[in-house]
């Protein structure tokens, strides 16, 4: 982790040295005072070269007296002007005076200079011996000795009682030299208290930084404890004040740049302080100061490599050349790859990653980590691709599994940058795998890393951990960003009152921040009445709405919805005048977004202060829309100056008029309202500048109404081809397929899936709870109960319906949409023909669906999940299914309520994880068996089941009752059941005879009553008795075991003849059907007759009792074996 860098010596750093220099001034001859002053001034200006030249002249003048020469050498030593080759000469000059002078002050000053000069040189021990030989060393020598040589015990001994300022100063600097943080801070505090001075304050700041180093070494500042952050803030403020006192002190520069680095170069007030004194920052002191100097505006001293890198960031051509040069190099060290990863495009990163080895001199973990970083950056530049996201998921999992123990050793700034990119890729659960191991357990503060972590937790629905982390953050109620997270969390948890209350706190803390106002507008717009919205909107200050941003545009959207379009209109016109390209997409979204929401009436202004007129005209055959603006305004590509020739011409022309100007012809088409003109301009710009990633399309509709229908058929058929491909693909779970077909409408997806026999479905779930008291529903289970008309059956068994809040709102909105009298849906048939479905069609054809949806809506209870962490495995499929499915899963997991799952794959996964699941087969069967068989109520489900559109629990009782229903529709259903599900139902031992029973019942119930079977408007006009007989008998022959075809048919004849022996006319008709069937299948009727007689004789022998002459009883429509 970053520590504070401390440099305690150098030219002019230690201002305490000025006291010695002042002492020398008082001792120096009068003729040397002025030259000495010139040296001091050069040192203050950091002009060492001039100071050295002046010092050479001064030494030449002072050579006439030994003491003067020694004093000048002392100045040279304390000014940092003694070169290595001149140290011995300086030592000799000063040491000679120490041994000869009788002036104690000169002796003290010179001895201090010797100690300073000898520090960390070969003469260090000699200087110490000279000092220790003194029985009573002077104050300056004591200070120098304590600063450069004394141990901790010597320092403590020296500062007992009431030491003079110099001694205490030397002791502080000595403690800093020894990295004795506690002692340094104790003595610096004492020094500052006793002898308040600039130097004391500098030393206190240095000691404070030294004391912070252990805490900063353990954790990055952004992951540190709040008290550490507060101490760093206090130190930052101290340094800023020191900058104001003296901008030339290198020690303060060291501290300031170290603090700036610890803040990740994200501290505005400190950057401003550095900018003020940028000319005094000495880049030669450290690379950090050179970097900070560049950030403050002076990059003169940056290495050329860094200048080239900076130029590559700013110039696309230089970027390309820089990356190409990097790729052409054969090897790279770990420190060289960071800039490339940030600069390179996806293709360049892919080229680099294709190499077998990308680093030289790196460990296996470092190689794996850099590959992960580069791969995530590569994927981030490739757009929203599910394939690429899946690759990144696997890569993160692989790296985390192999190197999880090493994650805390990686610099957190890199990990959190990766986390932000993974969140942008909609992979917050994978971001958590990287950053969770580095998150500390102690108290936190609202740092950028903590906010990133909270964002990942929230997006990955780790609600329990989110609450735990929030509880550990000091000052969470004073951070607008944290309040924003908490407001979203409260909204997702269903506590809208709390979410609104928190948004009000955000406004109080940051009234100038647009997002705070947007958040409140959003919550009121979604959850509160129009009156509440209109009461709040006047509070939004105009100053917040001046600059275009996503949040400001969102505020304007909600203002307009509630009837305040007059506040939004001038903003949009102004922004389109200033930057039409930058605002075109948002204006189109704004305008058409209002069309899909219930919006209060908009009164569009005919003129505006910013826009004098708006026109659509033809220029040399091209239709153009322009805004005519005042000359004072800064225009754009879509504006004309009012005083220009073209502007004056267009203001003068009436619609339909034309006039030539400068060899061009202008024809006025239409005068527009400014806002309308802006919308047209935005549409055109969005269409022209679409790079392919925007789903927006602007189509030119045919002018001839007769061409309109073919035009729509052509456009919609293309999308139908894609849907047909999705429908026919095998091995895709229902929930995934439905969401892929209709990603924007869960209930539309579910309804279409359940009624489309082309879409494969799994059997009903037959594991889980068979007698639940409450079940969690999603869009697919709700739609299944609606289309099968089964909702009432479940409610009558005492089962309660439970839904997430969002699902109920979605259901309510869907019902409102399809029930609206103006509802109309367009589609295309398999043959490419356009068809429409209106609200009237739905009421006439699918009234039972609407009734069941209303029944479910009225009886569904909203239950909110208890606070829990979502399973990350389940979260991985969140975007592949609709929200109602994911919310149902999470509610079931959190509250342990069984899920009524209609997808076998998802049900198996849910059950395997130990979460409660409904045995849908058993629950539906029990509910349907417990209710009387009513063909009118059951026909909807039976039709869909018969066609193979959906699974349905069915008993032989249901089949018999269906067969015994005198309706052509019942016959059609029975025929389709035999055709579609016959083998599945009747293949088991003993069941072929049940098939004969069903055939018999249907033929019997319609015998002589075919005309009466067409008994409703939905009944087919033909009977299906022949279809039932022929297909049923063919299936019986296929399933009835061994023996010749004639023998098996004779068995069927005997079975059905025994059932109908009491009705001779029906028996005759039945035998006729058998004869036609036999001839149609090229069977010998004589062989059938002989087999029949042998079967009858064998049955009589098996039944020797007096009652053996009784016929077989008719099949009873009662309880029977289940499918």
Residue 1, pLDDT > 50, answer no
Residue 124: the pLDDT is: 86
For residues 404 and 751, give the distance between their C-alpha atoms in angstroms, rounded to a whole number: 45
For residues 695 and 349, give the distance between their C-alpha atoms in angstroms, rounded to a whole number: 28
Residue 1122: the pLDDT is: 35
For residues 820 and 825, give the distance between their C-alpha atoms in angstroms, rounded to a whole number: 12
Other Cβ atoms closer than 10 A to 881? 28
pLDDT band at 10 (very low <50, low <70, confident <90, very high): very low
Least confident stretch, 111-115, 289-293, 814-818, 991-995 = 111-115
Q: What angle do CA 851, 857, 858 make, to 5 degrees?
A: 90
Average pLDDT over the chain reads: 87
616 forms bridges with which residues in the sheet? 625, 670
For the stretch 1009-1015, contacts whose Cβ atoms lie closer than 8 Å and that sit 24 or more positions apart, written own/partner, are: 1009/966, 1012/966, 1013/966, 1013/967, 1013/968, 1013/971, 1014/968, 1015/966, 1015/967
Residue 1118, pLDDT > 50, answer no
Structure tokens at 933: 């068989």
User: What DSSP state is assigned to residue 237?
Assistant: H
Structure tokens at 486: 């908490």
For residues 519 and 507, give the distance between their C-alpha atoms in angstroms, rounded to a whole number: 9
246-301 pLDDT, tens digit each: 888 889 999 999 999 999 999 999 999 999 988 888 887 888 888 888 888 888 87
Mean pLDDT of 741-747: 91
Alpha-carbon dihedral angle through residues 54, 57, 63, 68, given to the nearest 10 degrees: -30
CA-to-CA separations, 883 to 461, 488, 745, 761, 762, in angstroms, rounded: 13, 17, 10, 20, 21
More confident residue, 830 or 880: 880
Mean pLDDT of 821-838: 70
Residue 1120: the pLDDT is: 35
Q: At what angle do helices 779-787 and 935-946 cross, to 10 degrees?
A: 120
CA-to-CA separations, 518 to 426, 497, 560, 779, 1051, in angstroms, rounded: 23, 16, 13, 31, 79
Max mean pLDDT range (283-292, 544-553, 712-721) = 544-553
Answer for the pair 69, 95: CB distance below 8 angstroms, yes or no.
Answer: no
Residue owning tokens 């409660």: 916
Residue 666 backbone phi and psi in degrees, to 5: -115, 130
How buried is residue 717: exposed, middle or buried, by Cβ count under 10 Å (0-12/13-18/19+)? middle
Residue 111, pLDDT > 90, answer no
Other Cβ atoms closer than 10 A to 849? 21
Max mean pLDDT range (324-328, 483-487, 876-880, 932-936) = 483-487
Helix, strand, coil share (%) of the chain residues, nearest 5 = 65, 5, 30
355-411 pLDDT, tens digit each: 999 999 899 999 999 999 999 999 988 877 788 888 999 999 999 999 999 999 999
Least confident stretch, 772-786, 904-918, 1011-1025 = 1011-1025
3-state secondary structure of 666: strand
How buried is residue 270: exposed, middle or buried, by Cβ count under 10 Å (0-12/13-18/19+)? buried
Structure tokens at 1092: 């029949």
Residue 1085: the pLDDT is: 92
Q: What angle do CA 15, 20, 22 make, to 5 degrees?
A: 90
Sign of the four-CA dihedral 148, 149, 150, 152: positive
1004-1047 pLDDT, tens digit each: 998 877 766 677 777 788 889 999 999 999 999 999 878 899 99
Residue 191, pLDDT > 90, answer yes
Residue 622: the pLDDT is: 86
Sign of the four-CA dihedral 389, 395, 399, 400: positive
**Residue 1021: which residues within 8 A CB-CB, separation 6 or more?**
968, 1014
How buried is residue 87: exposed, middle or buried, by Cβ count under 10 Å (0-12/13-18/19+)? middle
Residue owning tokens 């390309």: 320
Residue 827 backbone phi and psi in degrees, to 5: -155, 180
* C-alpha count within 13 angstroms, C-beta hemisphere, residue 239: 30
Residue 711: the pLDDT is: 66
For residues 1076 and 1083, give the distance between their C-alpha atoms in angstroms, rounded to a whole number: 10
Q: Of how many residues is the chain composed?
A: 1123
Residue 16: the pLDDT is: 39
For residues 89 and 95, give the distance between their C-alpha atoms in angstroms, rounded to a whole number: 10
Residue 617 backbone phi and psi in degrees, to 5: -140, 165
Answer for the pair 557, 590: CB distance below 8 angstroms, yes or no.
Answer: yes
Alpha-carbon dihedral angle through residues 942, 948, 951, 957, given to the nearest 10 degrees: 40
Query: How are strands ordered across the β-sheet holding 800-803?
Result: 774-776, 800-803, 860-862
Residue 589: the pLDDT is: 94
For residues 259 and 111, give the distance between their C-alpha atoms in angstroms, rounded to a whole number: 36
Alpha-carbon dihedral angle through residues 740, 743, 748, 754, given to the nearest 10 degrees: 20
**What pTM was estimated for this model as a whole?**
0.83
Name which of 968, 1028, 981, 975 is nearest 1000 in CA terms: 1028
For residues 1117 and 1104, give the distance between their C-alpha atoms in angstroms, rounded to a whole number: 29
432-449 pLDDT, tens digit each: 999 999 999 999 999 999
For residues 378 and 347, give the distance between their C-alpha atoms in angstroms, rounded to a whole number: 8
Mean pLDDT of 843-871: 92
Radius of gyration (Cα) for the chain, nearest Å?
44
**Residue 446: which residues within 8 A CB-CB, separation 6 or more?**
473, 475, 476, 479, 481, 482
Residue 732: the pLDDT is: 87
Residue 1008: the pLDDT is: 75
Other Cβ atoms closer than 10 A to 673? 17
Residue 353, pLDDT > 80, answer yes
Residue 416: the pLDDT is: 96
Residue 306: the pLDDT is: 82
How, if at all, do strands 860-862 and 800-803 pair?
Answer: parallel
Residue 595: the pLDDT is: 83
Q: Where are the beta strands (DSSP E) in 439-508?
A: none
For residues 936 and 941, give the distance between their C-alpha atoms in angstroms, rounded to a whole number: 10
Query: How are strands ordered across the β-sheet holding 622-629?
Result: 639-641, 622-629, 611-619, 664-672, 658-661
Name which of 477, 409, 485, 480 is nearest 453 in CA terms: 485
Structure tokens at 1103: 């039944």
């Amino acid at each position: 982790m970053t520590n504070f860098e401390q440099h305690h010596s150098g030219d002019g750093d230690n201002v305490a040295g000025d006291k010695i220099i002042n002492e020398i001034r008082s001792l120096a001859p009068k003729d040397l005072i002025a030259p000495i002053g010139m040296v001091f001034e050069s040192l203050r200006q950091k002009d060492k070269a001039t100071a050295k030249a002046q010092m050479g002249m001064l030494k030449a003048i002072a050579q006439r007296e030994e003491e003067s020469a020694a004093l000048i050498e002392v100045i040279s030593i304390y000014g940092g002007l003694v070169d290595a080759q001149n140290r011995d000469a300086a030592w000799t000059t000063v040491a000679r005076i120490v041994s000869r002078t009788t002036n104690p002050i000169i002796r003290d000053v010179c001895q201090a200079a010797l100690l300073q000069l000898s520090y960390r040189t070969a003469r260090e021990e000699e200087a110490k011996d000279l000092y220790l030989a003194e029985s009573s060393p002077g104050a300056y020598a004591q200070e120098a000795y304590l600063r450069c040589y004394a141990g901790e015990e010597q320092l403590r001994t020296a500062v007992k009682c009431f030491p003079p300022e110099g001694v205490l100063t030397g002791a502080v600097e000595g403690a800093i030299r020894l990295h004795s943080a506690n002692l340094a801070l104790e003595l610096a505090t004492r020094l500052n208290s006793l002898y308040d001075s600039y130097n004391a304050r500098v030393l206190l700041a240095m000691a404070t930084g030294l004391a912070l180093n252990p805490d900063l070494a353990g954790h990055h500042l952004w992951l540190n404890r709040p008290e550490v952050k507060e101490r760093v803030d206090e130190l930052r403020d101290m340094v800023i004040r020191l900058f104001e006192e003296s901008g030339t002190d290198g020690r303060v520069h060291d501290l300031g740049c170290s603090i700036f680095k610890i803040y990740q170069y994200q501290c505005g007030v400190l950057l401003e302080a550095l900018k003020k004194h940028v000319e005094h920052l000495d880049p030669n002191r450290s690379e950090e100061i050179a970097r900070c100097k560049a950030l403050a505006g002076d990059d003169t001293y940056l290495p050329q490599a860094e200048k080239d890198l900076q130029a590559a960031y700013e110039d696309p051509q230089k970027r390309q050349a820089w990356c190409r040069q990097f790729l052409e190099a054969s090897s790279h060290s770990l420190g060289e790859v960071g800039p490339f990863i940030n600069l390179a495009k996806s293709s360049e990163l892919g080229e680099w990653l294709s190499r077998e080895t990308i680093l030289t001199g790196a460990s296996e973990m470092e190689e794996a980590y850099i590959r992960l970083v580069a791969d995530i950056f590569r994927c981030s530049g490739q757009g929203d691709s599910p394939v690429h996201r899946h690759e990144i998921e696997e890569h993160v999992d692989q790296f985390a599994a192999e190197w999880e123990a090493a994650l805390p050793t990686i610099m957190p700034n890199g990990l959190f940058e990766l986390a932000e990119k993974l969140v942008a890729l909609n992979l917050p659960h994978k971001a958590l795998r990287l950053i969770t191991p580095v998150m500390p357990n102690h108290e936190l503060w609202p740092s950028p890393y903590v906010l990133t972590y909270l964002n990942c937790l929230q997006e990955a629905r780790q609600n329990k951990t989110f609450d735990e982390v929030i509880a550990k953050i000091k000052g969470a109620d004073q951070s607008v960003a944290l309040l924003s997270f908490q407001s979203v969390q409260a909204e997702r948890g269903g506590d809208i009152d709390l979410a609104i209350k928190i948004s009000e706190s955000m406004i109080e803390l940051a009234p100038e921040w647009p997002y705070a106002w947007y958040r409140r507008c959003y919550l009121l717009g979604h959850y509160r009445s129009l009156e509440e919205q209109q009461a709040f909107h006047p509070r939004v200050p105009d100053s917040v709405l001046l600059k275009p941003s996503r949040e400001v545009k969102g505020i304007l959207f909600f203002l307009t919805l509630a009837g305040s379009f007059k506040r939004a209109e001038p903003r949009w016109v102004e922004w389109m005048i200033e930057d039409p390209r930058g605002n075109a997409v948002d204006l189109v979204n704004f305008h058409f977004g209002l069309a899909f929401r219930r919006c209060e009436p908009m009164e569009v202004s005919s003129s505006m202060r910013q826009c004098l007129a708006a026109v659509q005209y033809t220029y040399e055959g091209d239709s153009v829309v322009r805004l005519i603006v005042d000359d004072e305004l800064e225009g754009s590509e879509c504006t004309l100056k009012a005083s220009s020739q073209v502007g004056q011409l267009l203001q003068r022309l009436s619609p339909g008029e034309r006039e030539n100007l400068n060899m061009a012809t202008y024809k006025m088409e239409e005068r527009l309202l400014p806002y309308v003109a802006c919308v047209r301009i935005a549409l055109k710009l969005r269409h022209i500048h679409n790079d392919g990633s925007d789903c927006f399309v602007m189509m030119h509709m045919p002018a001839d109404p007769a061409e309109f229908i073919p035009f729509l058929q052509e456009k919609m058929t293309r999308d139908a081809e894609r849907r047909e491909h999705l429908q026919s693909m095998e091995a895709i779970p229902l929930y995934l397929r439905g969401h892929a077909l209709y990603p924007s409408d869960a209930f539309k997806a579910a309804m279409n899936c359940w009624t489309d026999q082309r879409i494969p479905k799994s059997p009903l779930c037959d594991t889980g709870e068979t007698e639940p008291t409450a079940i969690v529903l999603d869009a697919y289970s709700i739609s299944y109960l609606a289309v099968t008309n089964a909702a009432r059956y479940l409610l009558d068994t005492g089962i309660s319906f439970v839904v997430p809040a969002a699902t109920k709102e979605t259901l309510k909105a869907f019902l409102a949409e399809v029930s609206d009298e103006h509802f109309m849906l367009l589609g295309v048939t398999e043959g490419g023909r356009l068809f429409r479905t209106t609200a009237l069609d739905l009421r006439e054809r699918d009234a039972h669906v609407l009734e069941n949806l209303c029944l479910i809506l009225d009886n569904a209870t909203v239950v909110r999940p208890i606070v829990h962490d979502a399973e990350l495995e389940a979260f991985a499929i969140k975007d592949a299914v609709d929200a109602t499915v994911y919310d149902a899963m999470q509610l079931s997991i959190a509250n342990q309520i069984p899920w009524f799952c209609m997808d076998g794959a998802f049900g198996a996964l849910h059950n395997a994880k130990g979460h409660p699941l409904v045995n849908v087969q058993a629950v539906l069967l029990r509910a349907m068996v417990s209710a009387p068989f009513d063909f009118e109520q059951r026909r909807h489900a039976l039709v869909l089941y018969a066609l193979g559109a959906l699974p349905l629990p069915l008993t032989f009782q249901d089949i018999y009752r269906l067969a015994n229903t005198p309706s052509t529709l019942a016959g059609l259903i029975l025929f389709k059941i035999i055709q579609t599900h016959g083998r599945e139902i009747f293949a088991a031992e003993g069941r072929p005879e049940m098939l004969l029973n069903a055939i018999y019942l249907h033929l019997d119930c319609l015998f002589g009553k075919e005309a009466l079977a067409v008994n409703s408007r939905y009944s087919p006009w033909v009977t299906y008795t022949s279809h039932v007989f022929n297909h049923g008998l063919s299936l019986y022959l296929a399933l009835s075991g061994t023996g010749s075809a004639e023998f098996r048919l004779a068995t069927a004849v005997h079975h059905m003849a025994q059932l109908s022996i009491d009705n001779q006319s029906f028996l005759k008709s039945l035998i006729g059907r058998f004869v036609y069937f036999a001839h149609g299948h090229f069977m010998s009727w004589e062989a059938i007759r002989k087999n029949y007689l042998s079967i009858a004789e064998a049955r009589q022998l098996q039944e020797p009792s007096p009652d053996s002459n009784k016929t077989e009883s008719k099949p009873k429509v009662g309880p029977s074996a289940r499918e």
